[in-house]
């Protein structure tokens, strides 16, 4: 069994090395080791979505004093979906709501150093999901102010 594990580890190392040759480093890093992965308890903003590259993609935001204090996500999908969601989360940290409105498909793709054409929809999915979570945080805040 140890030989099988060693072979599997070696094969994965070779695949990682080849992927780094093909894709920008940020895509590989964000897609395989996303810092912002995980849920938030009682988020101020929340959204979920599924697409052809990811199932059960969820975005969580914590907003304080008009700025995104924390942004996290969960996703079961391809490396590009995970990387794009991680990029949206990373790009929003410490930014005002107004600044976060600029997070879109092209800004996510640019942040990652470019996405393959056949996976540009992953950046769109992440952007739409992030914007939906941002809207939900605004609605929640208004409801709290009114109630």
Q: How far apart are CA 36 and CA 60, in angstroms?
A: 10
Give φ, ψ of 79 to 5 degrees: -60, -35
pLDDT tens readout for residues 9-60: 888 778 777 777 778 889 989 998 999 999 999 999 999 987 666 578 999 9
* Residues 6 or more apart whose Cβ sits within 8 Å of residue 8: none
Per-residue model confidence (pLDDT) at position 54: 59
Percent share of the chain, pLDDT over 70: 95
pLDDT band at 1 (very low <50, low <70, confident <90, very high): low
Mean pLDDT for the stretch of residues 62-66: 96
Give φ, ψ of 116 to 5 degrees: -60, 145
pLDDT band at 99 (very low <50, low <70, confident <90, very high): very high
Per-residue model confidence (pLDDT) at position 17: 77
Strands, E assignment, the chain: 45-51, 54-64, 67-77
Which token pair is 137? 């945080």
Q: Give the pTM.
A: 0.85
**What residues make up the domain containing 86?**
2-146
Number of structural domains, the chain? 1
The residue among 32 and 72 whose pLDDT is bigger is: 72
Q: How far apart are CA 98 and CA 88, in angstroms?
A: 15
* 6 has a pLDDT exceeding 90: no
Per-residue model confidence (pLDDT) at position 146: 87
CATH number of the domain that 49 lies in?
3.90.1010.10
């Amino acid at each position: 069994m140890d030989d099988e594990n060693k072979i599997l580890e070696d094969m994965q190392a070779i695949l990682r090395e080849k992927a780094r040759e093909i894709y920008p480093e940020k895509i590989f890093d964000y897609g395989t080791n996303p810092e912002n992965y995980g849920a938030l308890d009682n988020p101020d903003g929340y959204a979920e979505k599924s697409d052809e590259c990811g199932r059960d993609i969820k975005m969580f935001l914590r907003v304080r004093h008009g700025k995104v204090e924390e942004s996290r996500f969960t996703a079961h999908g391809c490396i590009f979906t995970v990387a794009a969601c991680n990029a949206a989360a990373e790009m929003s940290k410490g930014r005002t709501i107004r600044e976060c409105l600029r997070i879109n498909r092209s800004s996510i793709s640019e942040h990652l150093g470019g996405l393959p054409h056949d996976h540009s929809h992953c950046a769109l999915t992440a952007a739409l999901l992030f914007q939906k979570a941002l809207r939900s945080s605004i609605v929640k805040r208004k409801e709290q102010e009114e109630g």
